[in-house]
Amino acid sequence: MNEFPTPIATVPSTSNKTGGWRTFRPVILYDKCIRCMICWKFCPEPAIKIVSAEKYQAKNAAIAKLDAPEIDYDYCKGCGICANECPVKCIDMVFEEKLEG
C-alpha cells in the first residue's frame, strides 16, 4: 500500500468565505435594474447568482418577466466591477462601516 498517496485537492473553495475582504458593499437598486445581467457576466468570483423573476419587484412588466441578479455577500470581495459596468448605474457601492450603523 502507498503510505504517501498523490495529493489531490478535494475541498471546494466555497468553504472560504471571501466576503470578509470587502470594504465597499455593492447594493442593487431593483427598481432601477433592467436585469441585463452584465454584472453577472463580469463578476470575477462569481458571486452574483441568477434568481427567479418573482423574487424582486420591477416597475416595468417586460423587465419583471426576466430572471434577476442577486449578490452573494458571503463571497463578494467588493471589487466594484459590477457597479462600474452597470449600464443604468443601479448598483451603489456603500462603505461597510456605514451599514453597520
Residues that bind another protein in the complex, under the rule CB under 8 A: 7-18, 21, 35-37, 40-42, 44-47, 50, 53, 65-67, 72, 74-75, 77-81, 83-85, 93
Residue 68 vs 101, nearer CB to another protein = 68
CB of 29 to another protein, least distance (A): 17
Cα gap 64→86, rounded to integer Å: 18
* 8 Å CB contact between 83 and 92: yes
DSSP state of 19: G
Q: How far is the CB of 16 from another protein (least distance, A)?
A: 4
The rounded distance, in Å, linking the Cα atoms of 45 and 9 is 19
